[in-house]
Structure 1
């Protein structure tokens, strides 16, 4: 028989001593020496090649029964190094199933919490926008900002220049979709000085569009930036110059006449108070009442283009689509300066591609809600 090396016997001894330990702080279970002797065969199984020699037996027989203890966290006969028990495949599958169930339970709650947080931030942003419109009217003899609804880029003739359509995957962006600089320029955005040029207020926090920067800042060239604007102003509110009021094209003179809002009757051929009301000054807002007249709304990123929001009120059709990014809800400002979150009743306003004119039933609750807050029949 080959003689065992001292290192080999030492390993056997260390393995054996794990079964015989003094009391410890972990509350190990006590065993009689006679019971521990029965574990020698188990030690042979747990540590093959290490004979259960007399050294272990003598240690057991001479030990104080009160001091012969085995840590309760280690099974009898199991070596810490080579006798640990692994998870079975069934146990792993059960654990994975439980984790999946927990994920299905809590992920919707996390998503709802994120959506709620975005809505709160957008309400705060739109409150500042609403205040800016009122301050502008106060400074300009009660006139609302110009809002010709023609996409003009002429400074001073629209409250905010720029075409901000597209930018989604597969949809080409407008010339200013990713250009926040135009919103910081008081000549191209007439309310920016009232909000300390905080251009983030113009973008819905739930608008996921990103694209290459289109402005003139050299340090941002080639970088991805969020879409510049997601809000627009009701076509029924605002002012135009005399030339545009007469011909619906071109601009000349100060914008002190109420908008025509041609889309109100659906042709589009509406004129100021013929047949639907339009509102050039805050004093014009009588029907509907200031608390019920829509001024600025978040617009769906697939619908938005220029800075005016067109609505047909004479017949049940959508031209521009209010946003549904807040869990089928939208943030809207009113002529008295207050802001509302409105939840849509149907899924018709949920867009996945650029829209076309959509005819809806006359009883459609969402179209009726917006139409009633956009205009009213003019007095005869």
Structure 2
């Protein structure tokens, strides 16, 4: 082995790496990204869960009881309701995760030692369900008030997943994770592959416009994405008995929005990448925050505000709300229209940028 030649090869690789800005950014950015995500943004100790209250008693005792529960820090009041049915509607629409119902005869129930307060929890997220169960301990302002605690029992009722089966929570999310991983990757290498194989020279000579080329590349993969969605749904229902309480049409419409969003993002990556390897690197750079910040692995409400702002920019975050709302809570896309609008806006922006940045030339 010639050390001089070995040294020359090492210098060549370092210089080439210095010119490859995308790879250099990955080397520096990926450890920083993982450290920030795992150390700062991910928090399993849930606090400030969005909650709604329907206090039908409106007595000093009922108001004090609700304030004591809010003082625990586990929940945060976001809405008020007039009846338990309105609370159920808020849960189904995904506007709150916890609903507290105080009956009109609260004081009589308290004196009789019966169930005085009912806490309804969105069980479509097992972590939220476990955190909200702490409210059954009734965090009174005075820790030594054991008699009051016994006189005011709280019932916690889990909606949508009373058995706390993990597949019910995981399988709908897997639809989004699989579509994100495959759709972005497929289209991220689309333009680069045409250049590396020499097909771009042929496309340049054709009258096909940039818009036609981009949309023509997206549509076949959109069909593939719907096939993947069907496979995951069939296996989820067959193997894990995951319910589909909402409309199957809404499930496919929500999946189509995510598919188009991911394909548009992949095309944008493809216009910036210089090789298929770079395209895969950039795809992983997008996939890691998506799976960690979307609410699939870790609860959204446990993240600090800056991490939640970042997660709102990710298509998978909005799809998680849509797919769990439709499949598990029986909601409609009309109930979850904000997330539909967010995905549609993401598609329009990403596809427009991809078309504008793509040029039918080899340089």
Q: Relative contact order, CA 8 A, sep 6+: which one is greater? A: 2
TM-score with structure 2 length normalisation? 0.25
- Structure with greater proportional helix content: 2
- Higher Rg: 1
Q: If the length of structure 1 is used for normalisation, what is the TM-score?
A: 0.24
